[in-house]
């Protein structure tokens, strides 16, 4: 008797093969729409990740890592003095990185939030060749959307407070 009341003999909609088929079809419809949404979401995430990767592909590239580390470990006295004032968000609460690479160039200090690079220039930068290289570097950085401020090393030694005010003013004009 139990075999006669089995799923195969149930009327449609009350269990059995007919309702299992209906449930399956509904399940597939629900899963198809969920799958479509998940695929759309995954494509958005993938596109965003690819764009982020392309944006980040020019910043702190691995081939420059060793050179950046060497520069960080051998700061000039002017760089060391300015770094003491910029590190740990001391200036306007903004984070600075030192010896940060952008494309083929390494900038002395960089604020990613404000896209501001700070370059300190000593004697090598004042010659004809140094000036040309600095001009190409500045043009490249500006094409990447990064503003550049140059200071002579002498200004750091003689009037660091004024230099910090100029940097702070530039940081706050972005916000």
Q: Quote the domain boundaries for residue 153.
A: 62-174
How many domains are there within the chain?
2
- Are 19 and 91 in a shared domain? no
* Distance from C-alpha of 16 to C-alpha of 21, rounded to nearest angstrom: 9
Tell me whether residue 1 is in a domain: no
- Are 141 and 161 in a shared domain? yes
38-66 b/e with 16+ CB inside 10 Å = b?
eeeeeeeeeeeeeeeeeeeeeeeeeebee
Task: Say if residue 133's pLDDT is above 90.
Answer: no
Residue range 38-59: mean pLDDT, rounded: 58
- Taking the model in full, what pTM does it have? 0.64
Tell me whether residue 2 is in a domain: no
- Are 120 and 106 in a shared domain? yes
Task: Say if residue 155's pLDDT is above 90.
Answer: yes
pLDDT digits (tens, 9 = 90+) for 67-95: 788 888 888 999 999 999 999 999 999 99
- Are 29 and 110 in a shared domain? no
Structure tokens at 64: 């420059």
Most confident by average pLDDT, 12-26, 63-77, 101-115 = 101-115
């Amino acid at each position: 008797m139990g075999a006669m009341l089995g799923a195969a003999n149930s009327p449609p909609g009350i269990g059995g093969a007919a309702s299992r088929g209906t449930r399956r079809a509904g399940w597939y419809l629900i899963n198809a729409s969920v799958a479509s949404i998940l695929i759309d979401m995954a494509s958005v995430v993938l596109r965003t990740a690819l764009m982020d990767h392309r944006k980040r592909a020019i910043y702190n590239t691995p081939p420059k890592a060793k050179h950046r580390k060497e520069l960080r470990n051998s700061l000039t006295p002017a760089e060391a003095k300015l770094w003491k004032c910029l590190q740990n968000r001391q200036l306007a609460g903004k984070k600075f990185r030192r010896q940060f690479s952008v494309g083929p160039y390494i900038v002395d200090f960089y604020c990613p939030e404000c896209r501001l690079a700070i370059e300190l220039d000593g004697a090598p930068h004042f010659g004809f060749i140094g000036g040309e290289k600095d001009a190409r570097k500045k043009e490249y950085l500006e094409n990447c959307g990064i503003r550049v401020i140059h200071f002579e090393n002498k200004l750091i030694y003689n009037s660091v407070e004024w230099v910090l005010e100029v940097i702070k003013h530039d940081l706050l004009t972005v916000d």
